[in-house]
Structure 1
Amino acid sequence: MSGTTRQGSVTGREFRLFWFGETTSLLGNGIAVVALPLVAVLTLHASTFVVGLLTSVAHLPWLVLGLPAGAWVDRLARRPVMLVADAVSFVAFLSVPIAAWADVLTIPHLLAAAFVCGCASVFFTTAQRAFLPTLLSDKELLAGNARLQGSQSTAEVIGPGLAGMLVQFFGAVAGLAANALSFLVSWLCLRAIRITEPPPPPPPEVRRRRLRTEVGDGLRFLFRDPVLRTLAAYSAVSNIALTAMSSIEVAFLVRTVGTGEAVVGAVLTLCGLGGVLGALLSHRLSRRYGSARAAVGCLLVAAPFTLLFPLTSQGAGLAFFVGGGVGVGAGAVAANIITDTFRQRYCPPDLIGRISASAAVISFGAITVGGLLGGTLGELCGVRETLWMMAGLQVSATAILLRSPIRRMHDFPESAVPLLATKGEHAIP
């Protein structure tokens, strides 16, 4: 296409290519979630603090680059940004197994690779969220998001199991080599998409504005909107708690519970079934109960399942960990699909990159804090004790939803009303 954007459907060639590339990349990430801490624990004999630090470092770029990335993405065509991000991630992850096979891998190298890939992820994620409404019609967005989230959930089911087998038979770094190849597949699929996406055409006065001003537009829109503000606040507290737990889960299962690498992969695979269930139910729940009620209900039901994680023990006691993972995953994934679709429909097209980036900075910035908190508390207080504390925080976070305007809504609003048109700014009452 030239000059105008063309929107397709979830059955069209362009979305199917995009979906396949994303699914492959997500599968690689699902492998890396287990393989990366196993490399730290088994190959480099890292402490619990370092294992938590890996998660923190991988998401630190959101605090540094997240806000300007949103403004940059709103000025550019989104697909080239994603192509560069895939290429950078491929090189960074491939460097780890190469260094390991050369017997020169160190903890600083592992941390640097996680940080570089985190930088690439900032731009890819921001561009992807802005690109999807171009690729799909408005009516297809919920179905498209459900398919992408379903792929992520399926990857979370298959990835840990594959990681466990790769580590068992080929060594810990083999999983990171597989993840690197997944970025190559994603890059090839993006290249094959035939849509020519023109750069967003902001008005001349917007083009001349400073980057700081453009970043401020996204932040103002986010914090003036009671719905977006509530979702951002809940996401921040929830991500601190959940990331603190997930950052030390491999160390917990291997060192505290005493499970082997293959069993760790199997347990995390079963936990991922919750995400698949959530992806399957999200559309049905939204239609039956209303989008706002369904999202809040899923999050309220999911939170108490975190209390099962610290009850985990060997043998049959692993069922507590699996039950917690399934419950949390089902509720969180279903809610994420519904709220992501709401944001894509609701935010003005010329601001969507900056608003998404602003929300992501809060969300992923909290992940940075959570990873560091999990590693620190795990080292100082004990891993099981840390799981209890973070489960309590996750349950407490639901008060943010219960005291917000969303609690009284049946459906999320469809669109925002631009009020500050004189300077290209947007706000809502």
Structure 2
Amino acid sequence: MTVSTLHAQESHANSSVRPRESRVSRLIINQDFTKFLLSQIVAQFASKSLAVILPLMAVITFAATPTQVGLLNAAQFFPVFVVTLFAGAWLDRRPRRPALIAAYVGNGILAATLPLATSLGIVHVYVLFFVAFGMGSLIAFSDVAYQAYIPNLVRSDQLVQANSRLEVAFSLAMVGAPGLGGLLIGAFGGSTAMVSAVIAYVLAAIGVLAIRTREKHVRVPERGEGTLKRIAEGMKFTAKMPLLRVLTLQGAWFNLFEQAVLTLYLLYGIRVLGFSPQLVGLTMSLGAIGVLAGSAVARLIGDKLGTTRVLILGMGVASIAPVIIPFAAGSQAVLIALTTLSFIIYGIGMTVFNIYGISLRQRATPHGMLARVSATYRFLAFGAIGVGGIVGGLAGDSLGLRPAMFFCIIALAVGWLAFARSLPSAITRFEESERAAEAAENAPQAV
């Protein structure tokens, strides 16, 4: 199935929703979506840069051990386990726009806590843990809210187009923002870097506040339809559908060991390769080149290979690319070039996979369950990121930094092989059920 088929068949939003159309070009879809997209870019860059700013502060200021760095990374992502499922059930029955604004304002306040504590002389590693956990909770909440809010801003035939733009922005933040965080902390120090996050979250809140499209009516749940029951429905639906199950399990496996590799790289780059924090940040940030390249070639590759093969290819490239890092040797210029190349290749594979993966997940999910299924995916796939931080830290302490990186990269490769084996049959079963449903719908009716 090619990307053109996905564009033709993707439909989950109420087609009566018609936001204000922009006449500038089809590129921006409509004015309100453009405001939303810009706010997401700013918010995502803020949250992903903090994923590096906080652990680098721990390493530079407090001489943190690998285990402490892993625990700090876990503090940022562990709230996914606590918040995400409840957020999905809660947001299915309430407006999403006010929730997004409140989350961004809250993150701005929390980001301001660290500079304030510094000015008062209360700087301690536990302050970092407090800020990391609080912001991680609000980020987990807003990530579910923004995906559930998208159908209010675009028509059903524009969903894939909108999600592709958001996914490119998200991928750019995933690859580029950590490098930006390293550059900021290297140039200005941790407290000033946190001030930039405060400004970013304020701008994100203003961007959502400026949206004029009225939100669709949210269905009020029936009496006795409690939160836990609604959470269970989303989890059960994901577990029973082979396609969603395969995509979710692979997302969790990849995120676990990818985060372990990234955690190790923060230490490996400084202590083994001899990079400064700025160079660590720069090598990661230049991976954004791969994101742009991946977004540019994604449709071309998808048209040629089809959805199944492009998903397998994208995941394979993203899983194998980090192997360049522990093999890198030579002068500092060569080391910089090789590690940067690794992140560029990784960015290409990750972006291609994400653009097609999110569209396929949305296509397979009924609109009425989109928030809960999205929450289930994030609970497992993004919750694994926090576990990956701990795995990376413990592996670095017990095996050494270089052997630990090899171990995590081998785990990524094993997960990809299992994914490549199970995805084709899952997509085939989904397409068969879709064709059967379409045939039943078009069958002649008795009168």
Equivalents in 1 of 2:82, 2:411: separation in Å?
Answer: 26
Match status 1:131 vs 2:131: no
> Which stretch has the larger CA shift, 275-284 or 10-19?
275-284
Equivalent in the alignment of 1:332: 350
- Which of these residues, 259, 265, 269, is aligned with residue 285 of structure 2? 269
Distance in 2, matches of 1:165 and 1:211, equals 43
1:40 corresponds in structure 2 to: 58
Structure 1 gap ranges (5+): 420-429
Q: Give the alignment of 1:210-229 within 5 angstroms.
A: 210-229=226-245
What TM-score, normalized to structure 2? 0.86
Of 287-296 and 377-386, more deviation after overlay is shown by 287-296
Greater CA deviation, 217-226 or 328-337?
A: 328-337
1:60 deviates by 0.7
Match for residue 77 of structure 1?
95
**1:222-241: per-residue Cα shift (whole Å, max 9, x none)?**
00100000011111111111
Matched, 1:376 2:397: no
1:417 deviates by 10
Q: Determine whether 1:121 maps to 2:139.
A: yes
Q: Secondary structure at the match of 2:133?
A: helix
Identity of aligned residues (%): 27
Structure 1 position 297, deviation (Å): 1.9
**Among candidates 374, 384, 408, match of residue 356 of structure 1:** 374
In 2, Cα distance between equivalents of 1:370 and 1:276: 26
**Kept in 1: contact 2:254–2:319 (CA 8 A):** no
**147, 157, 170: which is aligned to 2:188?**
170
1:6 has 2:18 as partner: yes
* Bigger mean CA deviation after superposition, 146-155 or 319-328: 146-155
Residue 111 of structure 1 is matched in structure 2 by 129
In 2, the alpha carbon distance for the partners of 1:92 and 1:401 equals: 39
Query: How far off is 1:322 after superposition?
Result: 1.7
Root-mean-square deviation over aligned CA pairs: 2.5
Q: CA deviation at 1:408?
A: 7.6
The partner residue of 1:151 within 153, 161, 169 is: 169
Residue 68 to residue 409, structure 1, CA distance change in 2 (3 Å): closer
CA shift in 2, pair 1:371/1:153, >3 Å: same
Give 1:61 deviation, angstroms.
1.0
**CA spacing shift, 1:183–1:411, aligned 2, 3 Å:** farther
Q: What displacement does 1:218 show?
A: 0.3
Greater Cα shift, 336-345 or 81-90: 336-345
> How far, CA to CA, are the matches of 1:306 and 1:344 in structure 2?
29
Q: Is the 8 A contact 2:35 2:207 kept in 1?
A: yes
Q: Is the aligned partner of 1:252 residue 2:268?
A: yes
CA shift for structure 1 position 409: 4.6
Aligned counterpart for 1:303 among listed residues 314, 319, 324: 319
Instruction: Show structure 2 runs of 5+ residues with no match.
Output: 1-15, 22-27, 438-447
Give the AA of the match of 2:398.
Answer: L
Single out whichever of 190-199 and 16-25 deviates more from structure 2: 190-199
Aligned partner letter, 2:301: L
1:327-378 deviation per Cα after TM superposition (whole angstroms, max 9, x unaligned)? 2221112111111122223311111111111111110221121111111111
Question: What residue in structure 1 maps to residue 35 of structure 2?
Answer: 17
Q: Distance in 1 between matches of 2:429 and 2:356?
A: 10
Q: Conserved in 1, the CA contact under 8 Å of 2:92 and 2:219?
A: no
1:279 aligns with: 295
User: 2:384 is matched with which residue?
Assistant: 366
Equivalence for 1:52: 70
Shift of the 418–89 alpha-carbon distance from structure 1 to 2, 3 Å rule, reads: farther
> Which secondary structure state, in structure 2, belongs to the residue aligned with residue 182 of structure 1?
helix
Task: Measure the CA separation in 2 of the matches of 1:226 and 1:126.
Answer: 22
SS at match of 2:80: helix
1:61–1:154: structure 2 CA closer, same or farther, 3 Å change rule?
Answer: closer
**Matches of 2:422 and 2:434 in 1, distance apart?**
18
Partner Cα separation in structure 1 for residue 76 and residue 327 of structure 2? 28
Say if 1:412 and 1:137 are closer, same or farther in 2 by CA, change over 3 A: farther
Moved more, 282-291 or 98-107: 282-291
8 Å CA contact retained: 1:42, 1:172: no
The match for 1:393 is 411
Residue 307 of structure 1, CA deviation: 1.4
Number of matched residues?
414
Of the structure 1 ranges 212-221 and 402-411, higher mean CA displacement relative to structure 2 is found in 402-411
Matching residue of 1:241: 257
Q: 1:369 to 1:168 in 2, by over 3 A?
A: closer
Please say if 1:291 is aligned against 2:307: yes
Pair 51,126 (structure 1): closer, same or farther in 2 beyond 3 Å: same
- Give how far 1:150 is off: 2.4
CA distance in structure 1 between the aligned counterparts of 2:436 and 2:195, rounded to whole angstroms: 47
Distance 1:367 1:105, change over 3 A: same
- Cα 1:224–1:95 shift into 2, 3 Å: same
Between 249-258 and 158-167, the greater mean CA deviation after superposition: 158-167
**CA distances 1:226-285 after superposition (whole Å, capped 9, x unpaired):** 000001111111111101011232221112211112212221122232222222222333
